[in-house]
Amino acid sequence: MLAGDHSILLNNRFFIYLRLVYNQYKMRISILGISVVMLISGCGPVDKKDTFEKDHSMWQENRIERLKSETGWLNLAGLYWLKEGENTLGSDSSNSIIFPDKAPAFIGKYILKNGLVSFIPHPDTDIKSGDKPATVMDALSDKSGTPTLLETGSFAWFIIERSPMFGIRLRDYEHHSLEDFHGIESFPPKKEWVIKAEFEPFEEPRELLIPTVIGTVEKNECPGILRFIIGDTEQVLYPSSAGEGLFIIFADESSGLETYGGGRFLYIDKPGNDNTVNIDFNRAYNPPCAFTPFATCPLPPSENFLSVAVEAGEKFAGH
């Protein structure tokens, strides 16, 4: 082989090698491109409707979990108002407060004196306060934030204060309502019911009078007015301050028909710096009195009756 031929052969082999390297490079780039396209198409743009429905579904699940929890409303088994002086309790008919039949016959007694409540356990009954046997003690009410909880068997109870009254709220962790409960019928969630409202703050918070089902009147702090449009009519709501947000008790033209007659509840965020906030009526929910006769629910104040039917949120679930 001539030197020139050898040089040509080497050049040809080098050219072939370059072609192979180039083709492999193109293949890798092509595969990478396909992978990226598949990844992007797999992720796709975020479907806002899908996110809205998932968020609402998660809210509904949390709502049901709270209802069925030990501190929920489905296990309430009694509400008993104390009289001034001595109040004995147990399932025996000789007690002044008679608990359900499966409770111990004699549990003890509450003493109400000048707005203070104390408890004296019956010596022959196993009553727990936390993980310890109950002794003679002061009984803090729910207004304290940490009421004194007493337990025996499947029952638990504590004192509630609804000025000027004091009562016993009884729970049964084995209450039949927990098994009988099969969810809450609701309107299908619709974005149209997420309504932007203008918030008009008061110079100073005002007192909002809230009636209750037990005939008392609560006084809530109202920071301002919410104005918004439903259809072609302006509506107004007076919210109460509630921690990091606002709490609304309202009634509308569907109340007593498709929705609970005692109105519905709604939590919303605090308004932003521009004094606007979204009201998601899809999250309007029934008060405890829709599930139990042993609650002391607030009712909508006269200011919070809407002149339209809010066909969103929970429908009526009678107990």
With a cut of 70, list the residues of the chain below it in pLDDT: 1-49, 317-319
Please give the pLDDT value at position 236: 99
C-alpha 230/C-alpha 306 separation (Å) is 10
How far apart CA 308 and CA 44 sit, in angstroms, is 39
314 secondary structure, DSSP code:
B
End-to-end CA distance of the chain: 104
Question: pLDDT (tens digit, 9 = 90+) per residue, 258-306?
Answer: 999 999 999 999 999 999 999 999 999 999 999 999 999 999 999 999 9
Cis ω for the linkage preceding 164 (within 30 of 0): yes
* Cα–Cα nearest to 136, from 98, 102, 99, 110: 110
Do 162 and 145 meet the contact criterion of CB atoms below 8 Å apart? no
Query: For position 37, what pLDDT does the model report?
Result: 40
DSSP string covering 242-301: ETTEEEEEEB-TTBTTTB-TT-EEEEEEPP-TTSEEEEEGGG-B--GGGT-TT---B---
Q: Using the 8-state DSSP alphabet, how is residue 305 labeled?
A: B
What does the block give as tokens for 86? Answer: 């001595």
Domain spanning 76-174, CATH architecture:
Sandwich (2.60)
> What is the reported pTM?
0.83
Task: Give the tokens for residue 15.
Answer: 């050219």
pLDDT digits (tens, 9 = 90+) for 151-164: 999 999 999 999 99
Distance between CA atoms of 160 and 232, rounded to whole angstroms? 44
Residue type, 274: D
Helix (H) or strand (E) holding 38: helix 3-43
- Find the DSSP H helices in 44-133: 48-68
Mean pLDDT across the chain? 89
Give the Cα separation of 258 and 309 in Å (integer).
9
pLDDT at 245: 98
Domain with CATH 2.60.200.20 in the chain: 76-174
